[in-house]
């Protein structure tokens, strides 16, 4: 049983790894053959080299970005669900406030990030706030969709047995919405990393949060494309790790009852 699931995991991991290695080999060959200057495209071997040589500097930056991304993601998860629960509580509340949740989806983060660094002071809080703003909307929208789509027969059943609004929400609507909640969290996981790196571009340089975004900006100013790509790779790895964790948790939570979660 244990070895079967391990084998499945390995079977699902090696195809993308193979594709990555093949792509890097091809790029390496092309860059060497075409003699592309390093400020345009670095050789993959050079990027790997930079990852190893500058590991202390890069890992410190990755850790800084990870902290901000996790805080932003946690805030999106908690506030996203809470906002959706409030919106689902009555039609009036939903009509009155739903349009304003779209703010989170449409706000140009580039415009608002400098304000955030004034409100929160440049640093982790401001960066995490950006990550939150960029990633909270899918959590709200998907949780709300799940809460509203609860089986009407079950809502009737709860009514018949005299369940109050609280019991109906927390014993029925919220658990029933979990598959949608996880859809939202999956989207939010990737967006959080994007939001964090972009925020670091804009506000990180001023404060103590020397995250991957800061590394990317300063390396590209100095023509160190190998360092830019090394930082981008680490940011992608962070996004993948967060997505993978969300998937894993979703699978554990939904395993017993939601068939698609077992794939």
Contact 135, 104 (CB under 8 A): no
Examine residue 166 and tell whether it contacts other proteins (CB under 8 A): no
Does position 111 bind other proteins by CB under 8 A? no
φ, ψ of residue 39 in degrees (nearest 5): -70, -15
Q: Which structure tokens are listed for 3?
A: 């070895």
Q: Which two tokens stand for residue 111?
A: 């415009």
Quote the least distance from Cβ 9 to other proteins, whole Å. Answer: 23
Q: How far is the CB of 153 from other proteins (least distance, A)?
A: 5
Q: In whole angstroms, how far apart are CA 209 and each of 66, 67, 118, 190, 194?
A: 11, 10, 15, 20, 16
Whichever of 86 and 178 has its CB closer to other proteins, that residue is: 178
Tokens of 113: 């990030």
| CB of 91 vs other proteins, minimal distance in Å | 16
Shortest distance, CB of residue 126 to other proteins, whole angstroms?
Answer: 39
Total binding residues for other proteins by CB under 8 A? 22
Mask for 169-188, x = binds other proteins (CB under 8 A): --xx--xx-x----------
Q: Which residues contact 120 (CB under 8 A, 6 or more apart)?
A: 126, 129
Burial 13-25 (b: 16+ CB within 10 A, else e): eeeeeeeeeeeee
Residue 157 C-beta: closest distance to other proteins, Å: 7
Say which residue the tokens 């990870």 belong to.
Answer: 66
Spatial contact of 117 and 203, defined as CB atoms under 8 Å apart:
yes
| Window contacting other proteins (CB under 8 A); options: 18-26, 99-107, 164-172, 201-209 | 164-172
Radius of gyration of the chain from its Cα atoms, rounded to whole angstroms: 22
- Residue from the set 15, 108, 162, 166 that interacts with other proteins by CB under 8 A: 162
Residues in Cβ contact with 47 at an 8 Å cutoff, skipping those fewer than 6 apart: 226, 229, 230, 233
208 binds other proteins (CB under 8 A): no
Q: Which is nearer to other proteins, 118 or 157 (CB)?
A: 157
Closer residue to other proteins in complex, CB, 109/178: 178
| CB 164, min distance to other proteins, A | 9
User: What are 5's two structure tokens?
Assistant: 């699931």
Residue 85: CA count within 13 A, CB half-sphere? 20
- Does 252 bind other proteins (CB under 8 A)? Our answer is no
Q: Nearest approach, Cβ of 159 to other proteins (angstroms)?
A: 7
Encoded one letter per residue, x for contact with other proteins by CB under 8 A and - for no contact, window 142-161 reads: ---------x-xx-xxxxxx
Choose between 240 and 261: whose C-beta lies nearer to other proteins.
261
C-alpha 47/C-alpha 106 separation (Å) is 35
Please give the residue ranges that form the binding site for other proteins (CB under 8 A).
151, 153-154, 156-163, 167, 171-172, 175-176, 178, 254, 256-259
């Amino acid at each position: 049983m244990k070895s079967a699931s391990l084998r499945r995991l390995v079977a699902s991991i090696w195809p993308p790894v193979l594709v990555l290695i093949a792509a890097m080999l091809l790029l390496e060959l092309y860059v060497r053959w075409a003699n592309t200057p390093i400020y345009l495209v670095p050789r993959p071997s050079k990027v790997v080299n930079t990852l190893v040589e500058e590991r202390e500097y890069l890992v410190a930056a990755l850790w800084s970005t990870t902290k901000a991304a996790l805080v932003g993601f946690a805030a999106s998860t908690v506030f996203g669900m809470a906002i959706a629960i409030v919106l689902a509580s009555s039609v009036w509340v939903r009509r009155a406030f739903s349009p304003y949740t779209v703010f989170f989806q449409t706000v140009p983060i580039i415009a608002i990030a400098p304000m955030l660094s004034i409100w929160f002071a440049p640093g982790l809080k401001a960066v995490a706030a950006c990550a939150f703003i960029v990633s909270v909307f899918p959590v709200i929208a998907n949780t709300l969709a799940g809460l509203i789509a609860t089986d009407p027969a079950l809502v009737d059943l709860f009514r018949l047995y005299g369940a109050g609004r609280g019991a109906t929400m927390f014993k029925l609507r919220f658990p029933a919405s979990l598959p949608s909640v996880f859809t939202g969290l999956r989207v939010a996981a990737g967006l959080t990393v994007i939001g964090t790196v972009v925020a670091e571009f804009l506000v990180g340089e001023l404060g103590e949060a020397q995250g991957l975004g800061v590394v990317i900006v300063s390396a590209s100013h100095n023509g160190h494309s190998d360092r830019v790509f090394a930082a981008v790779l680490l940011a992608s790895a962070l996004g993948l790790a967060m997505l993978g964790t969300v998937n894993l948790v979703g699978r554990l939570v939904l395993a017993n009852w939601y068939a698609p979660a077992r794939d």
